[in-house]
Amino acid sequence: MSNSPRRALVTGGSSGIGRCIAETLARDGADVGLFYQGEVNDGQPVLRRIESFGRRAWSRVGDVSDAAQVHSAIENFTAAMGGMEILVNCAGIFRDQVIWKMTDEEWSDVIGVDLNGVFHCCRAAVPVMRQGGWGAIINISSINGLRGKFGQTNYSAAKAGVIGLTKALAREVARFNVTVNAVAPGLIETPALTQMSAEARKESLQEILLGRPGCVEDVAELVAFLCGDRARFITGEVIRVDGGQYI
């Protein structure tokens, strides 16, 4: 990644794609913090893995849709680590439903975590990165934010919003040597995939040119690259990791 210190905060870092990103960043030399919903013990295996690479680990349980919790978490993380150069916004939820059956809660819950949560984290992190003179923000979107998907008006709207946020923020912070990019996965093997029906999974697999789902490492390796010095001239981009599913 770099010979310089790298301190990274990963939201949703206790499982799935977020967990793999956190561990990959630690492997590449970053001290890593986790901010996730659930029980405190959920993050312990990831923390141990981070420390196994000789890196410092930090964690906090909380809700990215709550601006006050986000502000407190980033303030505590930067105090504990001495700064922050990397933010990966990976926290996300699903509440799939066709729009004529979707409740206000199903809409607002997804927008609150998947879009508002990214805003809260970026807003709290950018002043730290400005002060440090360097930063990399990676927002996990989705190919369904680029194209939309049946039964996911809430999720597609949130992930499309993340793409717009990414591009606008990249313009705002480039002068501070901060890059902002989005990664848009397709069908990836994660615990969340178990929520898909067999029919929906089959339909998605038929879309993928490579004929199989991706794995969490496929996403994590791209994120690690975008956080490193070799990607220092890449900003405002949306990069798909989907095996050709979007085409």
- Looking at residue 166, the DSSP 8-state letter turns out to be H
Is 36 annotated in the active site?
A: no
Q: Specify the pLDDT at position 201.
A: 82
Domains and CATH numbers, the chain: 7-241 (3.40.50.720)
pLDDT one digit per residue (tens) for the chain, 247 residues = 555 669 999 999 999 999 999 999 999 999 999 999 999 999 999 999 999 999 999 999 999 999 999 999 999 999 999 999 999 999 999 999 999 999 999 999 999 999 999 999 999 999 999 999 999 999 999 999 999 999 999 999 999 999 999 999 999 999 999 999 999 999 999 877 777 778 888 888 999 999 999 999 999 999 999 999 999 999 999 999 999 999 8
Phi, psi of 143 (to 5 degrees): -65, -20
What's the pTM?
Answer: 0.95
Handedness of CA 79, 86, 153, 202 (dihedral sign): negative
- Among the listed residues 92, 155, 208, 218, the single catalytic one is 155
What is the C-alpha separation between 169 and 207, in angstroms, rounded? 32
Q: Specify the pLDDT at position 202.
A: 86
What is the C-alpha separation between 22 and 24, in angstroms, rounded? 6
